[in-house]
Amino acid sequence: MKKIFLILSIIVIFSLLPAGNAILIDESEVLKRGHFLIDQEKIFISNFEAREFEFNPIIRISGITASGMPFYIIENSQTGMTRGFVVTPDEITSFQFKNSDIMDDADKDVVQETKTNVNYLVSYYDRIHNMEIFSFSVKTFDESLYSGTVFDTNFGKLDGVNIQATITDKDNNILEEFYGITQNGIFVESIIIKDNLWSRGTYVLDLELEYDGKSYHTAKEFFVLGDLPDHD
């Protein structure tokens, strides 16, 4: 008797939830696949009714499984989670799973391929005297549009790439740091090689790039020649 009362109470609660205008129903992974998961086992749907909450990205699905058992589901398209329960003659079985778990492998591959790979090119002075301006530029491209090595091209340029640059001496001491984001596909910085900070020798321009959850690194050496020769 208690079980029947509990089932009826749950059904009443679900029926009182506000319905929306079915904008998100097409996004339901459960309805696309025609099944849901209980302990990684596919439970196929025979018939169903689907509604939405009025002010939330939530879909309510109720119906009968292929084996004739009533089920109730709350699917959240924002968090990508689905939870619910199935009513059997002996018990009420609850479940919860990630919506991506019921996607086909081909669909998962498509999702993984949406990330953009970055092709980046660096222009810089590799030899410079004291009191001259050392300048470097980083140009970023969507690799699927341009994977070449010609720095002056603008085809496929990519904005919004985070860049951190450091210049270090032979003892790995950091002399300069730069931070920025590519705009119009480019990031440019420059400094004056002052006499009192830069002795003759090799220095390293170290670059870290980040975009779409991926990181990239490169290091470029340049040589400081010392003072300009006196031509008097």
Mean pLDDT of 211-226: 92
pLDDT of residue 222: 94
Angle at 39 between CA 15 and CA 63, to 5 degrees: 25
Total tally of structural domains belonging to the chain: 2
Ordered alpha helix ranges (H), the chain: 2-16, 29-33, 105-112
What are the C-alpha distances in Å from 107 to residues 44, 102, 129, 130?
Answer: 19, 10, 56, 57
Going by pLDDT thresholds of 50, 70 and 90, the confidence category of residue 223 is very high
97 and 136 part of one domain: no
18 band by pLDDT with thresholds 50, 70 and 90: very low
- Taking a C-beta distance cutoff of 8 angstroms, is the pair 57, 76 a contact? yes
Domain that includes residue 71, residue range: 2-112
Q: Are residues 207 and 123 in the same domain?
A: yes
Asked whether residue 172 falls in the same domain as residue 187, the answer is yes
* Proportion of the chain above pLDDT 70, given as a percent: 81
Lowest average pLDDT, out of 158-162, 170-174, 220-224, goes to 170-174
Across the range 111-139, mean pLDDT stands at 86
Q: Are 201 and 221 in contact (CB under 8 A)?
A: no
Q: What is this structure's pTM?
A: 0.50
What does the pLDDT read at residue 117?
Answer: 92
Task: Note the pLDDT of residue 14.
Answer: 45
Residue ending a domain, among 91, 112, 133, is: 112
Average pLDDT over residues 207-219: 94
Does 161 lie in the same domain as 78? no
Question: At which of 112, 147, 173 does a domain end?
Answer: 112
Are residues 127 and 82 part of one domain? no
Last residue of a domain, one of 55, 78, 112: 112
Q: Which residue has the tokens 């090689």?
A: 193
Q: How many helices (H) and strands (E) does the chain have?
A: 3, 14
Same domain membership, residue 158 and residue 103: no
Phi, psi (degrees; rounded to nearest 5) at 102 = -105, 5
108 and 6 in one domain?
A: yes
Categorize the per-residue pLDDT at 56 as very low, low, confident or very high, splitting at 50, 70 and 90.
low
Give the pLDDT confidence score for residue 113 in this predicted structure: 52
Both 91 and 176 in one domain: the answer is: no
